[in-house]
Amino acid sequence: TDATATEARAPRKLAVPDAQTVTQVTHWTDRLFSFRCTRPASLRFRSGEFVMIGLMGDPDPKTGKQKPLLRAYSIASPAWDDELEFYSIKVQDGPLTSKLQHIRPGDQIILRPKPVGTLVHDALLPGKRLWLFATGTGFAPFASLLREPQTFEDYDEVIITHTCREVGELAYGAQLIEEIRQDEMLAELMGEGFADKIRYYPTTTREESPKMGRITDLMRSGEVFADLGVAPLSPETDRAMICGNLAFNLELKAMLEEYGLEEGANSDPKHYVVEKAFLD
């Protein structure tokens, strides 16, 4: 009978597929937070890549079934780190981030261990100077690459620009760079003096700060190059990675093409690569 069949079935487990445990959460502003979680032993990735992460969605009102709610997130930690770090926006009505912003240490998230992405050293030809151009949470893959030894083996100079609306949105990046510069363990791993290669260029567009304006406008006017004492980008010496909102990516990509740089890929390394920052 039906009753027997029900009893014979194994108890229903609310198993979370590919679960990882949250170890640390930091809220930077009312719109931004970062968190760390355990790393699956099997997960290999290249600094700069992203994975799909998320939570179980709400039960379907008809069937009661829950489906994973996943989004692409750049891994903000370097490939050698025991844990994984992510940097996220909080969107109050965002399907995932409205929930994800409430995670706490000990909670579980879903992490599909299939890293992919274009913001990797393999997609760039050798060069002298690496430009990392970010807006908003587009800083995340660069938080990984700025802690990756290869970044400093491959380049004499690494310029990281970060444009945000408000000063508070720069905090995650600013603090990370400060920590990188002071970390003795990193200096040992990356080689003494590596931190001197990092040039940090933060700008804001809607709140007063020491350097205001969109990075694209500051490049057009030549202000960035004057401030840093470097020549405008050229395909002979400069390589670039872009990660920000769509309009920014497209505008900067067109500018880099005007400087003579060409877009590279894993299978065809060239002068620059682009990836869109996640928005819920």
**Residue whose C-alpha is closest to residue 203's, from 179, 173, 233:** 173
- At closest approach, how far in Å is the CB of 279 from ligand A2P? 7
Binding pattern to ligand A2P, positions 217-246, x when CB under 6 A?
Answer: ----------------------------x-
**Which residue number, 125 or 247, has a Cβ lying nearer to ligand A2P?**
247
- At closest approach, how far in Å is the CB of 114 from ligand A2P? 27
**Residue whose C-alpha is closest to residue 32's, from 205, 273, 228, 280:** 280
Residue 136 interacting with ligand A2P (CB under 6 A) = yes
3-class secondary-structure state, position 135? strand
Select the residue interacting with ligand A2P from 59, 206, 207, 258 (CB under 6 A): 206
**Which residue number, 78 or 141, has a Cβ lying nearer to ligand A2P?**
141
CA atoms within 13 A on the CB side of 153: 7
Site for ligand A2P in 151-190 (CB under 6 A): 163-165
- At closest approach, how far in Å is the CB of 220 from ligand A2P? 10
**Which residue number, 31 or 271, has a Cβ lying nearer to ligand A2P?**
31
In this structure, the strands spanning 68-74 and 129-135 are: unpaired
**Which residue number, 122 or 251, has a Cβ lying nearer to ligand A2P?**
251
Asked whether the beta carbons of 132 and 126 are under 8 A apart, the reply is no
Burial class (CB in 10 A: 0-12, 13-18, 19+), 55: buried
**Residue whose C-alpha is closest to residue 40's, from 108, 138, 98:** 108
- At closest approach, how far in Å is the CB of 151 from ligand A2P? 23
Select the residue interacting with ligand A2P from 81, 223, 251, 263 (CB under 6 A): 251
